[in-house]
Each structure stands twice: as C-alpha cells, then as structure tokens.
Amino acid sequence: MLLLLLLCVPLLELYVIVQVAGGMGIGWTILLLIGVSVAGAWMVRRSGLGVLNQIRNRLNRGELPAAELVDGLLILLAGALMLTPGFLTDAVGLLLLFLPTRMLVRSLLMRHFAKRVTVGRWSAGPGFGFGYSAGASGGTDVRGADVRDVNEVREVRNGRQASEDPNGD
C-alpha cells in the first residue's frame, strides 16, 4: 500500500502541476507553488509554537499532554507535506494545519491507538511505543490511567485515586 502511494502521489502531483501550468502559465504556477509553501511554513511555525506552549502548560500542571503531542505530530506531517512541491500535498498539509480538521484527525488517531498503546515503567513491549507486559508492575496508559496489575486499574483524578478494587488499595 505504501509503495503504491509513493508511486501514485508524485504522478498525480505532476499531472496537476501540468494542468495548472497549462491554464495559468509556467511562471505563475511556479510562483503559486512557492507562495503556498512560504505561507504553509509560516502557518506550521505559528501552529507549532502554539502546541509547544500547550504541551508546556499541561506538563507544568502534571498532566500527560497526549492530545497536544498528536497535534505536534500532525503539524510536523503538515510541514513535510507543505515542503513537498505539489498542489495535492499542499492541500492535505493545509487541511492538517486548520484546527477543526486537525482535531478530527487527532480524535480518529487517538481512538485508533488508545487500545494499542500502553506505557510501562519496566520494559518495552512489542508493537507501537512502550508496552505493558504482564510481569511488569506499574505504568500509565495513554489516557493517564495508573496501571498496577493486569486485573487492577486505578485512575488518578484531581490528585485523588479512585480505585476499582474492593479493598480500596
């Protein structure tokens, strides 16, 4: 799938650039591509600095900045797309820079990975990121839940621990 994407996207970009150049002229097309890239770089810088401030604020409050980190990743991806010459990649990059679209993509990504990613204290597990292994005790999952045991999960809310086990441990 990735190989097909890597082959098809440049061909589609070339087709679109040729079509635009046929209608507007080569000079205007090149100027438009450069202008969109410059505007995109400015937007990436502005959005990236905003996300960095949000991450800093969440960390200062002692919270896990999961959503902000995903936003940072999406902004980085948008920047890479904006630097790639072409109108299609620029359009996708711009969509990722706009907050409503980025929030939608972020929620889809977080929902997709929420069940798969768990951060363990003791060992790196297989798969994406750091995994929780049955033998390890302690760690946090992506929602900030405190994982003590495979069968026991505590959520830390507002500095208090709400326990799910009957002993209140």
Residues 107-132: pLDDT tens digits? 998 888 877 766 554 444 444 444 44
Task: Tell me if 58 is assigned to some domain.
Answer: yes
Binned at pLDDT 50, 70 and 90, residue 144 comes out as low
Structure-block tokens of residue 71: 């936003």
Predicted local distance difference test score (pLDDT) of residue 14: 94
Number of structural domains in the chain: 2
pLDDT at 163: 46
- pLDDT value of position 119: 56
**Residues 60 and 143 grouped into a single domain:** no
Kindly give the residue spans of alpha helices, DSSP state H, lying in the chain: 2-24, 26-60, 66-83, 87-97, 99-114
Whole-angstrom distance, CA of residue 89 vs CA of residue 56: 30
Contact indicator for 44, 97 with CB cutoff of 8 Å: yes
Instruction: Determine the pLDDT at residue 118.
Output: 60
Residue 6 lies in a domain: no
Token readout for 59 is 């960390």
Residues 28 and 103 in one domain: yes
d(CA 164, CA 147): 12
Query: Does any domain span residue 45?
Result: yes
